[in-house]
Chains A and B, each alone.
Chain A
Amino acid sequence: MASIRIRMTNKRRKALVGTAFISPWIIGFFIFALRPMIYSLYLSFQKVKVTPLGIKTNYVGWDNYKYAFVSDTTFVEKVLHYLREMALNVPIIVTFSLIIALLINQKIKMRGIFRTIFFLPVIITSGPVINELLSQGVTNIPNIESYSMFEMVKQSLTPAVANPIMYLFKQIIMVLWFSGVQILIFLAGLQKVDHSLYEAARIDGASPWEAFWKLTLPMLMPLVLVNFIYTIVYISTFALNEIIVMIKDNMFNTTTGFGYATAIAWIYFVLIAIVLAIWSLLLRTRKS
């Protein structure tokens, strides 16, 4: 009996310590993230007017949601574009960061410098740099075609070969700029892999190619999923993302207003959740 009681109190104490560790985060999270989220759900069913005296709301039911799909033609178009981006670019970004991580995990000279450089996008895609680049139109892909390197590709190859290469190059800018943290996550995973496993595999006659598929990839699989989630979230909530810009524009628009903006935000939220669910389902089945 006594031993049971001690275990119970021990368990309870552990739970208490755990709660104490996490409570600062929970309190902040509830006040500044969760509560506003729930309130914004409420607002999405309202017509919201911001007046000098305060915020006036007027219940309109599902009107805001209907408006998004029926009356607002640009929204549906942007959603489709977003979904296409999610289907194509996310796997490209994750694959690319895996390749880069494998390359800079090799024992080559100057690898510290390479690691720094490939981690740079973290500071490029947020803040003043990307704003400046966007306002200068440097991220506009047509401009990049005017550089001589791309001219060379175009002139020396037939259109059938050149176009896919050009497409890849266009994607590469985005892919590179969005893959900083992912490369880091893969690198951390790669360094955990036990070297003796590779030696054992080599003694058994496995080629490096086979070792990658049979050893490295299975071990990195949990991180692949993490990176998929991170990439999707990162692109989706990127401040210059089309749909986000649209939400921002509608927020203080007098005809549509904040209610409509939150309605789009919630639709978008559900979309992101669906995209995440589909990708994690696909990756999970492949694993087993």
Chain B
Amino acid sequence: MSYQGTKINPTKFHRSQLKFYVFLIPLAMFMMLPIIFIVFHAFKPVNELFAFPPRFLVQQPTLDNFKDLLGFAGDSGIPFSRYVFNSIIVTLSVMFLSVFMSALAAYALSKMKFKLRAAIFETNTVALMFVPIAVQIPRFLVIDKSGIMDTYLAHILPLLSMPIGLFLMKQFIDQVPDELKEAAVMDGAGEFLVFRKVMLPVIKPALATVAILSFQLVWNNIETSSYYVNDESLKTVSFFMSTLVSQNGNNVAGQGMSAAASLLMFLPNLIIFIFLQSKVMNTMAHSGLK
């Protein structure tokens, strides 16, 4: 942050920016490595898959891993597209519902006054700290008793409450000045209208962040499929991929298939991420938060 005279916002590259690049570029390269690795890994032929130390770049790219994966998928009776369809339905419902519910609850906790407000937020913070897998059997009992086993609801409902989502969302809404809400109320807007027309546009970065986190949680989740759903035709893609890998984990073809499966599972992550994160960054600058 050297002295730059009256010029505050350099629009072009300038030598004084060089020191930022010295830090940023190596770190950024480092961040990219895992992704480069996972992409190249899926295209490696057998002899390169087992090379030690693992190499980053592929020497002789091949599509064999994907062919193996597709060939195997044909044997299990249920078409691959069915798993994909299940995953998409479940993931989209959870993403939208959980983001909407967290935003609604966070808005109420942050900008409305009612009894137990503090208590509810404290409870949420406590739940944040709790390890999710420890409640697996109790959760199973709840789902069993409520009779939603073997339905889409068994995938969706357990993942809806996302303490970390509510936590982040409330922190964001806390930063929004009260005047914004008051102005709208002055003009005669009801609470829901304020929420929809004033609050949601302003907290878009938070919505996108929670949506990304929620997507990760659902898309990669195999627990709901393995514990709450017995019907093979209702299971999700991530579960299917994990069984593929575990069934063939030890043999040579399994390694290649697992590499290909990882890449296929990762691509939607990357796409959703790139799509949503641009919203995160763009809206932050002119969100009226200043």
Contact = CB atoms under 8 A, between A and B. Distances in A.
Interface of A: 14-15, 17-19, 21-22, 24-26, 28-29, 31-37, 39-40, 43, 48, 50, 55, 100, 103-104, 106-109, 112, 114-124, 126-133, 135-138, 143, 146, 172-173, 176-177, 181, 184-185, 187-189, 191-192, 194-195, 208, 223, 226, 229-230, 233, 236-237, 244, 247-248, 251, 258, 261-262, 265-266, 268-269, 272-273, 276
Interface in B245-262: 258-259, 261-262
B101 A176 contact: no
A14 B146 CA distance: 33
Nearest to A136: B54
Interface in B11-33: 11-13, 17, 20-21, 23-24, 27-28, 30-32
Given A191-B290, A208-B1, A269-B131, A129 B24 contact: no
B135 A236 contact: no
Contacts of A128: 38, 220, 241, 261-262, 265-266, 269
A48 B164 CA distance: 30
Contacts of B41: 132, 136
B114 A129 contact: no
A40 B135 contact: yes
B30 A172 contact: yes
Given A132-B41, A269-B130, A106 B290 contact: no
10 contacts: A15-B115, A29-B161, A108-B21, A121-B31, A126-B220, A133-B34, A233-B164, A247-B131, A265-B130, A272-B129
Contacts of A50: 137
A258 B137 CA distance: 8
Interface string B264-290: 011001100110011011001100011
Instruction: Determine which residue in B124, B129, B220 has the highest number of CB atoms from chain A within 10 A of its CB, and name it.
Output: B129
Interface in B201-222: 205, 209, 212-213, 216-217, 219-220
B217 A21 contact: no
Interface of B: 1, 8-13, 17, 20-21, 23-24, 27-28, 30-32, 34-35, 37-38, 41, 53-54, 101-102, 104-105, 107-109, 112-115, 117, 120, 123-139, 141-142, 146, 157-158, 160-161, 163-164, 166-168, 171-172, 175, 191, 195, 205, 209, 212-213, 216-217, 219-220, 241, 258-259, 261-262, 265-266, 269-270, 273-274, 277-278, 280-281, 284-285, 289-290
A40 B9 contact: no
Given A103-B24, A127-B266, 16 more contacts: A17-B112, A32-B158, A33-B127, A48-B137, A115-B281, A116-B277, A116-B278, A127-B220, A137-B54, A143-B53, A176-B31, A184-B280, A226-B171, A229-B125, A230-B168, A237-B132
Contact of B209 (A21, A138, A184, A236): A184
Contacts of B28: 114, 117-118
B34 A138 contact: yes
Summarize A's interface: helix, strand, loop or mixed: helix
Contacts of B220: 126-128
Contacts of B259: 132
The 10 closest A-B pairs by CB, nearest first: A265-B134, A36-B138, A21-B108, A127-B220, A25-B105, A36-B135, A208-B1, A39-B138, A18-B112, A18-B114
Contact of B129 (A131, A135, A233): A233
Given A188-B172, A273-B129, A35 B262 contact: no
A32 B280 contact: no
Nearest to A12: B114
B142 A36 contact: yes
Contacts of A272: 129
Nearest to B123: A34
A143 B109 CA distance: 48
A6 B120 CA distance: 28
Nearest to B280: A184
